[in-house]
Amino acid sequence: MKRKLYFTVLALCLTVVDLYAQDRGTTLVESLAQKMTGYKNYRIEFTADMENEFSDLSGKIIVSGACYRVEINDYEVYCDGKNLYTYNTNEDEVTIEKADPTDPSPLTNPARFFESGIKDFQCIYKGTETKNGKTVERVELLPSKLQASGCKSILLEVDKNSLPVSIEYRTEGAAPITIAIQKVVPLTDISSDTFVFNRKEHPEVEVIDFR
Protein backbone atom coordinates (compact mmCIF):
# COMPACT_ATOMS: atom_id res chain seq x y z
CA MET A 1 0.00 0.00 0.00
CA LYS A 2 2.82 2.42 0.95
CA ARG A 3 4.67 1.52 -2.26
CA LYS A 4 1.57 2.27 -4.36
CA LEU A 5 1.04 5.56 -2.52
CA TYR A 6 4.68 6.53 -3.11
CA PHE A 7 4.42 6.04 -6.87
CA THR A 8 1.09 7.88 -6.98
CA VAL A 9 2.60 10.89 -5.21
CA LEU A 10 5.68 10.72 -7.47
CA ALA A 11 3.50 10.65 -10.58
CA LEU A 12 1.52 13.66 -9.34
CA CYS A 13 4.73 15.59 -8.61
CA LEU A 14 6.09 14.86 -12.06
CA THR A 15 2.82 15.99 -13.61
CA VAL A 16 2.96 19.28 -11.68
CA VAL A 17 6.58 19.83 -12.75
CA ASP A 18 5.70 19.09 -16.38
CA LEU A 19 2.73 21.48 -16.32
CA TYR A 20 4.89 24.20 -14.76
CA ALA A 21 7.56 23.67 -17.43
CA GLN A 22 4.97 24.09 -20.18
CA ASP A 23 3.23 27.06 -18.54
CA ARG A 24 6.46 28.95 -17.81
CA GLY A 25 7.80 28.21 -21.28
CA THR A 26 4.61 29.47 -22.90
CA THR A 27 4.66 32.60 -20.73
CA LEU A 28 8.24 33.40 -21.79
CA VAL A 29 7.48 33.02 -25.49
CA GLU A 30 4.28 35.07 -25.25
CA SER A 31 6.09 37.81 -23.30
CA LEU A 32 8.79 37.93 -25.98
CA ALA A 33 6.16 38.18 -28.72
CA GLN A 34 4.32 40.96 -26.86
CA LYS A 35 7.56 42.87 -26.31
CA MET A 36 8.63 42.68 -29.95
CA THR A 37 5.15 43.46 -31.27
CA GLY A 38 5.23 46.58 -29.10
CA TYR A 39 8.01 47.90 -31.32
CA LYS A 40 6.36 49.12 -34.53
CA ASN A 41 9.69 48.74 -36.31
CA TYR A 42 12.98 47.35 -35.04
CA ARG A 43 16.47 46.22 -35.97
CA ILE A 44 18.25 43.18 -34.54
CA GLU A 45 22.03 42.89 -34.73
CA PHE A 46 23.45 39.39 -34.28
CA THR A 47 26.23 36.91 -34.96
CA ALA A 48 25.65 33.39 -36.24
CA ASP A 49 27.57 30.13 -35.86
CA MET A 50 27.20 26.70 -37.46
CA GLU A 51 29.62 23.90 -36.62
CA ASN A 52 32.04 23.08 -39.45
CA GLU A 53 30.37 25.69 -41.65
CA PHE A 54 30.90 29.21 -40.29
CA SER A 55 31.44 31.16 -37.10
CA ASP A 56 30.91 34.73 -35.88
CA LEU A 57 29.13 35.86 -39.01
CA SER A 58 27.69 39.31 -38.38
CA GLY A 59 24.20 40.08 -39.57
CA LYS A 60 21.18 42.28 -39.09
CA ILE A 61 17.42 41.93 -39.27
CA ILE A 62 14.95 44.76 -39.88
CA VAL A 63 11.27 44.13 -39.21
CA SER A 64 8.15 46.22 -39.80
CA GLY A 65 4.90 44.30 -39.33
CA ALA A 66 4.90 41.36 -41.74
CA CYS A 67 7.76 42.86 -43.74
CA TYR A 68 11.40 42.14 -43.04
CA ARG A 69 14.95 42.24 -44.35
CA VAL A 70 17.85 40.00 -43.35
CA GLU A 71 21.50 40.58 -44.23
CA ILE A 72 24.17 37.99 -43.45
CA ASN A 73 27.39 37.09 -45.24
CA ASP A 74 26.70 36.92 -49.01
CA TYR A 75 22.93 36.86 -48.66
CA GLU A 76 20.22 39.47 -48.44
CA VAL A 77 16.62 38.39 -47.83
CA TYR A 78 13.74 40.77 -48.51
CA CYS A 79 10.06 40.21 -47.80
CA ASP A 80 7.29 42.72 -48.51
CA GLY A 81 4.71 40.54 -46.76
CA LYS A 82 3.78 38.69 -49.95
CA ASN A 83 6.94 37.91 -51.88
CA LEU A 84 10.31 36.65 -50.67
CA TYR A 85 13.47 37.82 -52.45
CA THR A 86 16.73 35.98 -51.75
CA TYR A 87 19.73 37.81 -53.19
CA ASN A 88 23.03 35.97 -53.42
CA THR A 89 25.55 38.79 -53.81
CA ASN A 90 28.38 36.36 -54.53
CA GLU A 91 26.54 34.76 -57.47
CA ASP A 92 24.73 37.89 -58.73
CA GLU A 93 21.45 36.03 -58.54
CA VAL A 94 18.10 36.72 -56.91
CA THR A 95 15.25 34.24 -56.50
CA ILE A 96 11.66 35.36 -56.00
CA GLU A 97 8.98 33.16 -54.44
CA LYS A 98 5.80 33.47 -52.46
CA ALA A 99 6.48 34.11 -48.78
CA ASP A 100 5.76 31.13 -46.54
CA PRO A 101 3.84 32.38 -43.47
CA THR A 102 4.43 29.05 -41.68
CA ASP A 103 8.24 29.19 -41.88
CA PRO A 104 9.49 29.37 -38.24
CA SER A 105 13.13 30.29 -38.97
CA PRO A 106 14.39 33.55 -37.44
CA LEU A 107 16.63 34.06 -40.49
CA THR A 108 14.05 33.56 -43.23
CA ASN A 109 10.89 34.67 -41.42
CA PRO A 110 11.88 36.78 -38.40
CA ALA A 111 8.52 38.61 -38.34
CA ARG A 112 6.75 35.36 -37.48
CA PHE A 113 9.43 34.09 -35.15
CA PHE A 114 9.70 37.15 -32.94
CA GLU A 115 6.09 38.34 -32.97
CA SER A 116 3.64 35.47 -33.40
CA GLY A 117 4.57 33.50 -30.28
CA ILE A 118 5.59 30.55 -32.49
CA LYS A 119 2.20 28.93 -32.98
CA ASP A 120 2.13 25.17 -33.50
CA PHE A 121 5.04 24.72 -31.09
CA GLN A 122 5.11 23.19 -27.63
CA CYS A 123 7.06 25.35 -25.18
CA ILE A 124 9.16 23.53 -22.55
CA TYR A 125 10.87 25.54 -19.81
CA LYS A 126 14.54 24.60 -19.38
CA GLY A 127 15.48 26.70 -16.35
CA THR A 128 18.00 29.50 -15.97
CA GLU A 129 21.59 30.05 -16.99
CA THR A 130 24.15 32.78 -16.43
CA LYS A 131 25.59 34.41 -19.56
CA ASN A 132 28.06 37.28 -19.44
CA GLY A 133 27.10 37.87 -15.83
CA LYS A 134 23.38 38.03 -16.58
CA THR A 135 20.67 35.49 -15.82
CA VAL A 136 18.68 34.24 -18.79
CA GLU A 137 15.74 31.85 -18.94
CA ARG A 138 15.70 29.04 -21.47
CA VAL A 139 12.78 27.50 -23.31
CA GLU A 140 12.77 24.73 -25.90
CA LEU A 141 10.23 24.94 -28.72
CA LEU A 142 9.13 21.61 -30.18
CA PRO A 143 6.97 21.51 -33.33
CA SER A 144 3.58 19.95 -32.63
CA LYS A 145 3.49 18.66 -36.21
CA LEU A 146 5.95 17.94 -38.99
CA GLN A 147 7.47 21.14 -40.34
CA ALA A 148 8.02 21.52 -44.08
CA SER A 149 11.12 23.53 -43.19
CA GLY A 150 12.60 20.50 -41.44
CA CYS A 151 12.69 22.31 -38.11
CA LYS A 152 13.40 19.83 -35.30
CA SER A 153 13.48 22.17 -32.31
CA ILE A 154 14.43 25.68 -31.24
CA LEU A 155 16.25 26.57 -28.02
CA LEU A 156 15.47 30.15 -27.05
CA GLU A 157 17.11 32.22 -24.30
CA VAL A 158 15.33 35.31 -22.98
CA ASP A 159 16.52 37.99 -20.55
CA LYS A 160 14.60 39.63 -17.69
CA ASN A 161 13.27 42.29 -20.07
CA SER A 162 11.64 39.63 -22.29
CA LEU A 163 14.18 40.26 -25.04
CA PRO A 164 15.91 37.47 -26.98
CA VAL A 165 19.51 36.67 -26.02
CA SER A 166 20.23 33.66 -28.22
CA ILE A 167 18.50 31.17 -30.51
CA GLU A 168 19.64 27.68 -31.41
CA TYR A 169 17.77 26.52 -34.49
CA ARG A 170 17.91 22.77 -35.15
CA THR A 171 16.89 21.02 -38.36
CA GLU A 172 16.90 17.40 -39.47
CA GLY A 173 20.21 16.22 -40.89
CA ALA A 174 22.18 19.41 -40.22
CA ALA A 175 24.21 21.01 -37.45
CA PRO A 176 22.29 23.59 -35.40
CA ILE A 177 22.62 27.28 -36.18
CA THR A 178 23.27 29.42 -33.11
CA ILE A 179 22.25 33.07 -33.29
CA ALA A 180 23.61 35.37 -30.60
CA ILE A 181 21.59 38.57 -30.31
CA GLN A 182 23.86 41.57 -29.82
CA LYS A 183 21.29 44.34 -29.84
CA VAL A 184 17.58 45.06 -30.38
CA VAL A 185 16.97 48.62 -31.55
CA PRO A 186 13.48 50.21 -31.92
CA LEU A 187 13.22 52.23 -35.14
CA THR A 188 11.07 55.06 -36.47
CA ASP A 189 9.11 54.74 -39.71
CA ILE A 190 10.82 52.69 -42.43
CA SER A 191 10.32 53.05 -46.17
CA SER A 192 8.53 50.12 -47.82
CA ASP A 193 11.39 50.05 -50.36
CA THR A 194 13.56 48.59 -47.60
CA PHE A 195 11.77 45.26 -47.99
CA VAL A 196 11.87 44.87 -51.77
CA PHE A 197 14.87 43.91 -53.90
CA ASN A 198 15.68 46.85 -56.18
CA ARG A 199 16.29 45.49 -59.66
CA LYS A 200 17.22 48.92 -61.05
CA GLU A 201 20.16 49.14 -58.67
CA HIS A 202 21.35 45.67 -59.76
CA PRO A 203 20.73 45.41 -63.53
CA GLU A 204 23.41 42.72 -63.89
CA VAL A 205 21.69 40.30 -61.49
CA GLU A 206 19.94 37.22 -62.86
CA VAL A 207 16.33 37.00 -61.66
CA ILE A 208 14.82 33.55 -61.05
CA ASP A 209 11.09 33.87 -60.44
CA PHE A 210 9.36 30.85 -58.83
CA ARG A 211 6.01 32.53 -58.20
Query: Would you place residue 197 in the very low, low, confident or very high pLDDT band (cuts 50, 70, 90)?
Result: very high
Mean pLDDT calculated for residue range 64-71:
94
Looking at residue 198, what is its pLDDT?
A: 92
Question: Could you tell me the pTM of the whole model?
Answer: 0.84
Q: What is the CA radius of gyration of the chain?
A: 20
pLDDT digits (tens, 9 = 90+) for 121-156: 889 999 999 988 889 999 999 987 766 568 889 999
Tens digit of each residue's pLDDT (9 = 90 or more) over 85-107: 999 999 889 999 999 888 888 88
> Which of 172, 127, 179, 181 is closest to 153 using CA atoms?
172
Report angle CA 53, 55, 61 to the nearest 5 degrees.
Answer: 105
Give the chain's mean pLDDT.
85
